[in-house]
Amino acid sequence: MMKSFLVMMIVTVVLVACSTSPTGRKQLMIMPESQMITMGVQSFHKLLADTPQVKDASINEYVQCIGNAITQLPEVQAVSGDWEIVVFDDPSANAFALPGGKIGVNKGLLTVAVTPAQVAAVMGHEVGHVLASHGNERVSQSFAANQGLALLDAWLGRQDNQNQAAIMSALGVGTQVGVLLPFGRTQESEADTIGKELMARAGFDPRESITLWQNMARGSNGAPPEFLSTHPSSDTRIERLNENMASAVVLYQQSGKRPQCKR
């Protein structure tokens, strides 16, 4: 009975959650987009309450200028017509974008991304996660894994204990490394591809995305091995960014835009 229910659950998830990313990759998508927007906005408000924001007007105007060039693109407006960009007073070189049109940039990013185009590469990448619904995909994977493991555990309770331990151990490792880590390497590479095109369409030279990751590589001493990381290594990232760079440069040249973002 439990085994039949497990099979029915898996089939239902597959049928309901079929989706395709902007790059043509199949995705598991369970959550309604309205719920993802609610989660994104709530998370952003919590960050605003818990993290100090930069007060320097020149820094805020600089990041806003870059962000606005990206968020005004039609494909980005289609996701949200009212993007909010905040610079957090945090020394780590990081940024994020959330469903609901929320973008956060840490002040520390500006020590590594030292030109507007390099900042645009990061912001375009983060917006790429939203355009590709990677948050929904990750939440859906987590839900499916947790529910599936609970059902499988109940069914395996009737089986040989030694087999159960071996199977659950294998599933546990697969879940921790392959499913539930934030933004896996495939998603990161996909966001790089989308971000490269976004920055080019917004008028930022996509070739500077390579320089950005060269800067990142110089500051990543002691980084974990690529196999255990959710992000591709800097060398792998640069190699993949170079793929189809010529077409991105054409988009940049055809955009006719050159945002004048200065600190």
Distance between CA atoms of residues 130 and 75, nearest Å: 11
Distance between CA atoms of residues 103 and 43, nearest Å: 11
How crowded is residue 223: how many other Cβ atoms within 10 Å of its Cβ?
A: 13
SS3 content of the chain, % helix, strand, coil (to 5): 65, 10, 30
**pLDDT score of 14:** 47
- pLDDT tens for each residue of 197-241: 999 999 999 999 999 988 887 876 655 544 445 566 767 778 888
Distance between CA atoms of residues 134 and 191, nearest Å: 9
Whether 35 and 133 have beta carbons less than 8 Å apart is answered as: no
At residue 101, what are phi and psi to the nearest 5 degrees? Answer: 75, 45
**pLDDT score of 39:** 78
- Model pTM score: 0.77
Q: How many helices (H) and strands (E) does the chain have?
A: 11, 5
**pLDDT score of 143:** 67
Q: Let me know if 33 is a catalytic residue.
A: no
Burial of 15 (0-12, 13-18, 19+ CB in 10 A): exposed
Which regions in the chain score pLDDT beneath 70?
1-26, 142-182, 220-232, 234
Write down the catalytic residue from 33, 84, 126, 190.
126
Q: Checking DSSP bridges between strand 26-28 and strand 18-20, what pairing results, if any?
A: antiparallel
Tell me how far apart the terminal alpha carbons of the chain are, to the nearest angstrom: 65
